[in-house]
Amino acid sequence: MRIPIVYENEDILIINKPAKLLVHPTNRREKNTLVNWLIDKYPKIKEVGENPLRPGIVHRLDKDTSGLMVIAKNNKSFFYLKEQFKERKLNKKYLALVIGQLKEKSGVINKAIGRSPKKGTKQTVSPIVPRKEAITEYRVIKEYQNYSLVEAIPKTGRMHQIRVHMSSIGHPIAGDEQYKFKRQPCPKDLNRHFLHASYLKIQLPNGEIKKFEVELPNDLEKILKNINQKSNLKMQDVT
């Protein structure tokens, strides 16, 4: 596996995770995961954390989500980062292409999320299930004929949070098979959901504050160029 390392010191590792890569093995015991790569490259990481299936992992990205992830290289940094996430001190931003054009060009989605009773891997905002607080800020960056490019800032860390929240306001993420609506458009050649963790601001265990940013990967950049070229409308920047 070729996994770009964005930053590294003795305590943490920040990577640019490729799409189509599981973070850790599931019950099926997959071998081609980020954790397998970590153990191969950093054997001592086996001893880090609270779950032997997820050594060093303090947060996750969905398999089809690309972008920035921070990983703990020792237990001191693991529990430090875990507390940072718990206290919501880390600042993360995502880029998402969503279906349609949003009436409100910026806003806050405050809808609690819980596990769907129909499908265990799916989340829902339905009040019929036990739910936990979930908050996502968003702003529209650019508009296309049938889509909008949105910057999403999760203030909590629920499973599938951005995907669930955008779908809940009527604008599912393009290419998202799990939370899509019936007969919604999908850009040609998009073979995963259009979601990328583009920005991370973090205070390191030594107290230093660092900011990291990565551009959209090539597959998503091509999608934007393609839908702009095929649109009868000019791409509109939204401020």
- Write down the pLDDT at residue 118: 72
33 and 8 in a common domain: yes
Domain C-terminal end among 22, 57, 87: 87
pTM score: 0.90
Closest CA relative to residue 23, chosen from 47, 48, 49, 55: 55
The predicted-structure confidence for 149-208, as pLDDT tens digits, reads as follows 999 999 998 989 999 999 999 999 999 999 999 888 899 999 999 999 999 999 988 889
- Write down the pLDDT at residue 120: 59
Domain C-terminal end among 87, 121, 143: 87
CA 107 from centre of chain: 19
For range 83-98, the mean pLDDT: 94
The predicted-structure confidence for 103-116, as pLDDT tens digits, reads as follows 999 999 999 998 87
- Residue 53 or 31, more confident: 53
How many Cβ atoms are within 10 Å of 53's Cβ, its own excluded?
A: 13
Number of domains in the chain: 2
Please give the C-alpha separations between residue 70 and each of 9, 31, 55, 74, 197, in angstroms, as whole numbers.
Answer: 12, 21, 12, 12, 11
Domain C-terminal end among 40, 63, 87: 87
Q: What residues are labeled active site? A: 62
Q: Identity (one letter) of the amino acid at 53? A: L
The domain that holds 9 is classified in CATH as 3.30.2350.10
Indicate if the pLDDT at residue 20 is higher than 80: yes
H or E element, residue 222: helix 218-230
Q: Please report, rounded to a whole number, the percentage of residues in the chain having pLDDT higher than 70.
A: 93
The predicted-structure confidence for 47-57, as pLDDT tens digits, reads as follows 999 998 899 99
Query: Which residue range is the domain that position 42 belongs to?
Result: 1-87
* Predicted confidence band of residue 131 (pLDDT cuts 50, 70, 90): confident
C-alpha dihedral sign at 86, 92, 97, 99: positive
